[in-house]
Structure 1
Amino acid sequence: MTTETARTDGALARLARFCYRRRRLVLLTWIVGVIAMALVGFGYAAAPDNDFSGGNSDSAKAQALIEKHFPEQQGDTLTLAIKADKGIDDPAARQKIEKVIADLEASPITGPVTSPYQDNNLVTQDRRIARTTIPLTDKDVDKSQAKLLVDTVKDASVDGVTLGLAGEKAEKAETPPGGSTESVGVLAAAVILFIAFGSLVAMGLPIVTGLLAVLGGIALMKLAGHLVPSPDFTVLVTAMIGLGVGIDYALFILTRYRDSLHDGDEPETATVKAITSAGRAVLFAGTTVVIALLGLIAMGQRLMTGVAVGASVGVLVTMIAAVTLLPAFLGFTGRRIDSLRLPRRTSRRHGADGATPRRTLAERWAGVVQRKPLVAAALAGAGLLVLAAPALSMRLSLPDASVQPHDRSSYTSYTILSEGFGPGYGAPLIFATEVDAKNADLTNALDAVRNTDGIAYVTQPRVSKDGQAATFMAFPTTGYQDAATADLVHKLRDDVLPHASGGDRIYLGGPNAGAIDFSEDTSSHLPLMITVVIVLSLMLLIVLVRSVTIALQAAVMNLLSIGAAYGVLVAIVQWGWLGTAFGFPTTMPITTWVPMMMFPILFGLSMDYEVFLISRIREEYERTGDTRSAVARGLARTAKVITAAAAIMVAIFTTATLGPDVSVKQIGLGMAIAVLVDATIIRMVLVPAVMELCGKANWWMPGRRAPKATSGTPTRIGEDARV
């Protein structure tokens, strides 16, 4: 089969022709299908699972013991923090405090509350600060009901009395929805598309295609949660990735379609050519993203597997929309794709009407890089390594109340409790062990923990009703996010408890220890995940571009861009450089799941740009047989579309920093930085410099000669280029 025959008779060509000719049926199917899927997916969505514990860690074993032998402790709770300038015994303050406690206790979602006036252990010695626990009667508390409790506490914080309500349900209740940030991203993408295409019609098609695909993808992701549980941030991540790749994929196909129309093709022929060229690259690029995301399964963490499956479903839907829904839209627009244009001066097309082609800025820039390729590659590589350097000091943790925005009630509670009971009050260490009697003696263990440097105080042990397990708590002198707290956990586990337990295994758990275990488990499995993602992506890219050299170049450059993104993220979030400008209320460690989510996503997205750039370079090389001119012309022909695609990605990812979730802010900022680096330093400097240095070796493939210049139609990416 010839290349031209494959263009008109292949499976993708038949699909494009069917969608173009049966456009009403395809569009109706998509609209009805997305609406039905949204009704089912959002109506019967699986509840999010945010429990990152599990596995064989100490914290998981402690939690298992507590769940088995202390069922009465399994309900969720909130913590009310109280601070009175004149002391809690001041008549006016006491009246206000008792009213708030009564209002909280009267809620249908709370149980009995112990007043600090009934228990002196809940009050500091100067009686200015107090606390109490608010038990929740229902595990699945409605967000609006919890919000009423938060508002009750906030409204009472006046006249010298400050109150704060902390706890997972309270934090989620006062966290505003993040939907508005996606709207800002879509608006920014629309502006970029309008500037790139100069037409309202051409601008609208990628937006509508991407939005329909994202809506269907999120609905499917919510249903997939019944089979593979995932945390609540999966929706935001899926929406962010889906919007980015959905709009970008439609942009690449639409650009090819417009080029074919300008070359004189009929709309149907232009649609078929766009789908069989750019559409084929979209399928390969999207498959790379899916494979990279599924590499998260190698982490061996249940919830990360859920994130991988959920986000992959979203990307799959955008791929399908790009090669089915978009051709249907093109059938409706036809040659009116450039309607409602932005007035602009037109320029001569490359080689049109026998005119001498004008060298574009991108082509001239490629020439500058190619004249000094070694210098350009060295400077770019050194710059990326400098940006990546801060990543060597990266610390991982899960966010708590101490890193929330300062207007939140949970942060107010944290500051009050830290002042009155020490910064370690929000980082309790929970010890659990099996015993053989209700009067089990844990004196040695209690004394050993109490006398350990870094421990503020230890509670008395509690034995389960069945007499088979005991538990006690210790509070460190340092906070949840402090590195010293993690060091203390290791010291207790490795040195203190083994010598003080008398042969009985005492497990150290609790939210803080669980976060530490999760971070260490992530760090230990990260190299395996990175290896899996790189190997699978390399195999796919070799099949796609038919070159081992280019595939290896892509892998190394992607690692450099991701490393640079990690480094800049650490400098902003962990070191505090410009952190407040991006909406981070304070310095904080990097959220544990952010680096492992960023890597597969960015590796896949970087491969997208590699595919679209190399496909054009290879077409030019097969036509001319000259690597230097092929790189320059390929860069010139893709610079505009890749720049627009990258700008859309950066805009969508950056708008995540406008949202309320500090972890989603981190991943959005990190991915925006990586895409920016990839579209500038990597694509505009390293790619032309390295390809110039490699010359004909760029096209090396075992058992096959490099492609020669041909007089026919250039071989498409993904087809055998043997001559």
Structure 2
Amino acid sequence: MNRILYRLGRSTAAHPWRTISAWIAAVVVAFVAAGALGGTFHDDYNVDGARAQTGIEQLRAHVPGGGGATAQAVVHDESGAALDAADLTALTERIARIDHVSYVSVPRISEDGDTALVEWEYDVPSTDEDLVGADGYDPMEAAIEPLRDAGLQAELGGELPSQTESTMKGTGELAGVIAALVILVIAFGSVVAAGLPVAVALLGLAVGSAGVTLLAGITDVSTIAPTIATMVGLGVGIDYALLLVNRHVEFLGQGLHKHEAAGRALATAGRSVVYASVTVLISLMGLNLGGLPVYATFGYATAIAVVSVLAAALTLVPALCGLAGNKLKPRKVRKNKTTRIEKTPLTARWASRVVKRPVAFGLAALLFLLALAAPVLGMRTWPQDGSSAGEATSQRQAYDLIDAEFGAGANGPFTVVVETSVADPAAAAETVADVRGIVRVTEPVTTPDGELAVFTAEPAYGPADEQIPGLVADVRAAVPDGVEVTGQTPFFSDIVDLLDARLWVVVTFVVGVSVILLAMMFRSVVVPIKAAVMNLLSITAAYGVLVLVFQNGWGGSLLGVDHAVPVSSWLPILMFAILFGLSMDYEVFLLSRIREFWLKTGDSTASVERGLAATGRVISSAAAIMVVVFLGFSTEADTVVKQLGFGMAVAIVLDATVVRMVLVPATMTLLGKWNWWVPAWLDRVLPTIEAEKHDTESDRVWDEFDSTESVEAGSR
């Protein structure tokens, strides 16, 4: 690989316009193909293994149009006057005329008469292309608009509105990119060097986005998958390009020609980028073990984005570096006509301080991370519902109106399905009504074929209340055979249980494979295990901060969250898979340089100090870029995206500062030569993968390459 990357770097730097033209052509072809063959994004919420799925399938089999999407409209007169029955009748008629609506309820009137609740069902699931986005939301808006024109408050809530109202604005992401440019200018002291990583990442991401659209043409791709792919792709794309540009500038500072510098940068830092991306891809593939179809699409879509930005980094960076030449050097260096670029003294001084007092620094970092991780012990997860939406959204206002006028449980009723040949519907309804925590039960309604009877049970608590899982279990324990408890709230409870169980499967796979890969790269048992433990520690600390901010409400208002909400149940697995891979990126970058110095000098302490000094600035800059990109996503209205962006930003901050700049060098200093210990039998059976060649080996390869080139040129 060393020879291949070296040749690729020199070739693309020597012929930059070929590479740039090829990428422009690739972008055009990718977008044309995506337009012709790509599909639309939609979610698949069917979950094999969830008990509530059984009831849904029964309804689909025996009720014409049953088991489809549901929605609610809440009408309220703010003056307190009783609502006009004619207005409500007209509303139900307009709703009934909406495409795919199969059932509309009789308006439920509050005790004081100033509020009405209308519920309806569709004959297709909420993931149907006819209901996705504006196609599903606009007809509902049109149905309630006449009531708003008449001076009444009319809001939309329930399943379908909650999935279609929150849209990505993109302003936060744009601000993140601008902030990343500012950070790069500060880091490099050159506008050209700063703009290059961003341009490369955006071009690679463009091809990746087209690839995700093509993926949607052959399989289901979640509506949120492109957002996650963009978030991760943009972050790692800038990071990879940054690492390569930084190494290229180092070689320029040593007086090398720009073509030679490009080749050597790709042969050294390029190797680290390749293997770092492999660790990210391994983590993403672990999402397939998450137990939900939507996780698989997250993994595939994000993997496409990562591969695209990796390809862009390995080809476009040396090409653009070849064009830029000495303009990549800081302006003050170019003006002074100096050929050597000094390392940032701050990172060198910090590295020296840490290795001199490893026990104090290591212990302080460990205690700090453990303190942040402690709130995880009380973490409660739950999928997003109307209560977690922003105050300004219609779904949140509908939720609050229903809560105030009809009780908290009206926002998340249970649907009870009875097989009439097995159980008596009336007796089942009476049994459910007697369960503590159930406040209202409707009369059972028999399906047209007489096979099923269906009734609704309303809990005393809101759908996100911590007592809901226990209540679902109590109702299921009370009913006889032939009765299933389903509906959105019991379905959410089943998902939480499923994801809690699958988290450990994902963790075991991702950690296990990553440890093996690091063992092959660094010929060590201690380094991979230590890296895995520290990554787990920083991720757990990020979970703890999420609990403090969102679940406990500490500063949540700064992120646009007006009250405490549970951590989204989608997050633990998703954050772990993404963050473990990203954390390994920084681990590979740092350990590659430490091992490079170790192989050259054999001095373990000096190697740690020099490795940290050499990579501290670039890792800090890369992390800062990822943080601002992720924080940009935390400004979105969707609570899941908000929590994901904020949680990942916190994790990267902790990983790049507390872990990478303190805990890793402190522990490596204490362990000394034991860092690189590996049993002889394991060393024999493990394939050898070097993240970066140290100087002596690299120079030999480059000398051999130059000799080969000379012979070939002479023969021609």
Give the counterpart of 1:214 among 167, 185, 205: 205
Q: How does 1:36-47 map to 2 (within 5 A)?
A: 36-41=29-34, 44-47=37-40
Taking the aligned partners of 2:152 and 2:573, their CA distance within structure 1 comes to 43
User: Which letter does structure 2 place at the counterpart of 1:464?
Assistant: T
User: Which letter does structure 1 place at the counterpart of 2:421?
Assistant: D
Change (3 A) 1:585 1:714: farther
Secondary structure in 2 aligned to 1:72? coil
Q: What residue is the counterpart of 2:441 in the other structure? A: 458
User: Which letter does structure 2 place at the counterpart of 1:522?
Assistant: L
Q: How does 1:126-141 map to 2 (within 5 A)?
A: 126-134=112-120, 139=128, 140-141=130-131
Change (3 A) 1:96 1:66: closer
Would you say 1:628 and 2:605 are equivalent positions?
yes
Would you say 1:280 and 2:280 are equivalent positions?
no
Q: Does the 8 Å CA contact 1:298/1:529 hold for their aligned counterparts? A: yes
Cα offset, 1:566, TM superposition: 0.7
Q: What residue is the counterpart of 1:411 in the other structure? A: 396
User: Which letter does structure 1 place at the counterpart of 2:429?
Assistant: L
Taking the aligned partners of 1:605 and 1:681, their CA distance within structure 2 comes to 15
Q: What residue is the counterpart of 1:268 in the other structure? A: 259
Taking the aligned partners of 1:112 and 1:519, their CA distance within structure 2 comes to 29
Query: Residue by residue, what CA displacement relative to the aligned partner does 1:57-84 show, whole Å, maximum 9, x if unpaired?
Result: 2101111111111133344343110122
Taking the aligned partners of 1:667 and 1:187, their CA distance within structure 2 comes to 21
Cα offset, 1:376, TM superposition: 1.8
Q: What residue is the counterpart of 2:638 in the other structure? A: 661
Q: Does the 8 Å CA contact 2:287/2:577 hold for their aligned counterparts? A: yes
Give the counterpart of 1:50 among 43, 52, 57: 43
Change (3 A) 1:625 1:112: closer
Secondary structure in 2 aligned to 1:131? strand
Secondary structure in 2 aligned to 1:628? helix
Would you say 1:370 and 2:355 are equivalent positions?
yes
Q: Does the 8 Å CA contact 1:225/1:306 hold for their aligned counterparts? A: no
Q: What residue is the counterpart of 1:443 in the other structure? A: 426
Give the counterpart of 1:332 among 323, 336, 354: 323
Secondary structure in 1 aligned to 2:390? coil
Q: What residue is the counterpart of 1:708 in the other structure? A: none
Query: Residue by residue, what CA displacement relative to the aligned partner does 1:377-399 show, whole Å, maximum 9, x if unpaired?
Result: 12211111110000111111111
**Identity of paired residues, percent?**
34
Taking the aligned partners of 2:486 and 2:694, their CA distance within structure 1 comes to 68
User: Which letter does structure 2 place at the counterpart of 1:214?
Assistant: L
Change (3 A) 1:173 1:528: closer
Secondary structure in 2 aligned to 1:544? helix
Cα offset, 1:365, TM superposition: 2.0
| Range moving further from structure 2, 477-486 or 75-84 | 75-84
Change (3 A) 1:228 1:596: farther
Give the counterpart of 2:231 among 226, 229, 240: 240
Give the counterpart of 2:467 among 454, 462, 484: 484
Q: How does 1:10-89 map to 2 (within 5 A)?
A: 10-41=3-34, 44-86=37-79, 89=82
Q: What residue is the counterpart of 1:3 in the other structure? A: none
Q: Does the 8 Å CA contact 1:53/1:514 hold for their aligned counterparts? A: no
Q: What residue is the counterpart of 2:377 in the other structure? A: 392
Q: How does 1:630-649 map to 2 (within 5 A)?
A: 630-649=607-626
| Range moving further from structure 2, 369-378 or 643-652 | 369-378
Cα offset, 1:287, TM superposition: 0.5
Would you say 1:713 and 2:695 are equivalent positions?
yes
User: Which letter does structure 2 place at the counterpart of 1:713?
Assistant: D
Q: What residue is the counterpart of 1:144 in the other structure? A: 134
Q: Does the 8 Å CA contact 1:298/1:528 hold for their aligned counterparts? A: yes
Q: What residue is the counterpart of 1:584 in the other structure? A: 561
Cα offset, 1:262, TM superposition: 1.2
Q: Does the 8 Å CA contact 1:154/1:164 hold for their aligned counterparts? A: no
Q: What residue is the counterpart of 1:124 in the other structure? A: 110
Q: Does the 8 Å CA contact 2:418/2:425 hold for their aligned counterparts? A: no
Taking the aligned partners of 2:210 and 2:36, their CA distance within structure 1 comes to 9
Cα offset, 1:142, TM superposition: 5.9
Cα offset, 1:274, TM superposition: 0.7
Unaligned runs of 5+ in 1: 1-5, 117-121, 706-710
Q: How does 1:563-602 map to 2 (within 5 A)?
A: 563-602=540-579
Cα offset, 1:130, TM superposition: 0.9
TM-score normalised by length of structure 1 = 0.89
Cα offset, 1:595, TM superposition: 1.0
User: Which letter does structure 2 place at the counterpart of 1:126?
Assistant: D
Taking the aligned partners of 1:585 and 1:715, their CA distance within structure 2 comes to 58
Q: Does the 8 Å CA contact 1:436/1:467 hold for their aligned counterparts? A: no
Would you say 1:189 and 2:180 are equivalent positions?
yes
Q: What residue is the counterpart of 2:413 in the other structure? A: 428
Q: CA RMSD in A?
A: 2.9
Q: Does the 8 Å CA contact 2:72/2:117 hold for their aligned counterparts? A: yes
Secondary structure in 2 aligned to 1:658? coil
Change (3 A) 1:68 1:614: same
Change (3 A) 1:159 1:433: closer
Q: Alignment length, in residue pairs? A: 685
Query: Residue by residue, what CA displacement relative to the aligned partner does 1:344-372 show, whole Å, maximum 9, x if unpaired?
Result: 9989998x8xxxx8992222222222222
User: Which letter does structure 2 place at the counterpart of 1:41?
Assistant: A
Q: Does the 8 Å CA contact 2:579/2:651 hold for their aligned counterparts? A: yes
| Range moving further from structure 2, 171-180 or 396-405 | 171-180
User: Which letter does structure 2 place at the counterpart of 1:685?
Assistant: V
Would you say 1:496 and 2:467 are equivalent positions?
no
Taking the aligned partners of 2:346 and 2:94, their CA distance within structure 1 comes to 68
Cα offset, 1:305, TM superposition: 1.4
Q: What residue is the counterpart of 2:193 in the other structure? A: 202
